[in-house]
Structure 1
Amino acid sequence: MKLKYFAWVRERVGRSEEEAELPAGVSTVAELIGWLKQRGPEYAHAFEADAAIRAAIDRRHVRQDAPVAGASEIAFFPPMTGG
């Protein structure tokens, strides 16, 4: 599965995207964020305000309780503002 990072999430993780095979037990966006936070200090820093992180599965905005099974791409980004 491709994971993509945008804005300050990308800056903190240190990459814009990566391929990852999710471990058993990771079935929702929230569980994926929890797993990512354990991958190292850069991920822990990027996802420390996990409630503020927004996600999209295959380019559709989803809530953190959305299932990740069958997704080909999951993107993470901070809240967007308009103006």
Structure 2
Amino acid sequence: MTVQIRVFAHLKTVLGAETLSADLSEGASVAELLGYLQEVYPELRRWRSSVRVAVNWEYVPADTALQEGDEVALIPPVSGG
């Protein structure tokens, strides 16, 4: 199955793009997707513990199963004033 990935803020630089796609096995979880991305983009490991994940615009836990065509957003912490 293919999922679309959107990244924000400094993660665009880490991954080299604002949008990506990933081919995963059916029923793969958010955690499996993150593991795959960390293999392909080792620098992502640095941000793993602070990145929030949303699937189809809803925050989800790592054990959430993904489905064909899902849009996964990787959202880093933001600070501002």
Q: Which has the higher contact order (CA 8 A, sep 6+)?
A: 2
**2:56 and 2:71 in contact (8 A); partners too:** yes
When normalised by structure 2's length, the TM-score is 0.78
Structure 1: runs of 5 or more not aligned: none
Partner in structure 1 of residue 35 of structure 2: 34
Instruction: Decide whether the 8 Å contact of 2:55 with 2:71 is kept in 1.
Output: yes
Q: Compared with structure 1, are the counterparts of its residues 15 and 70 closer, same or farther at alpha carbon in structure 2 (3 Å cutoff)?
A: same
SS in 2 for 1:47: helix
- Deviation beyond 3 Å, 4+ runs, structure 1: 80-83
**Between the two proteins, what is the percent identity of the paired residues?**
28
C-alpha distance in 1 between matches for 2:21 and 2:47:
23
* CA RMSD between the two structures: 2.1
In structure 2, stretches of 5+ residues that fail to align are none
Contact 1:58 1:74 in 2 (8 A): yes
TM-score of the superposed pair, with normalisation by structure 1: 0.77
Aligned length: 79
Tell me which protein shows more strand as a share of its residues: 2
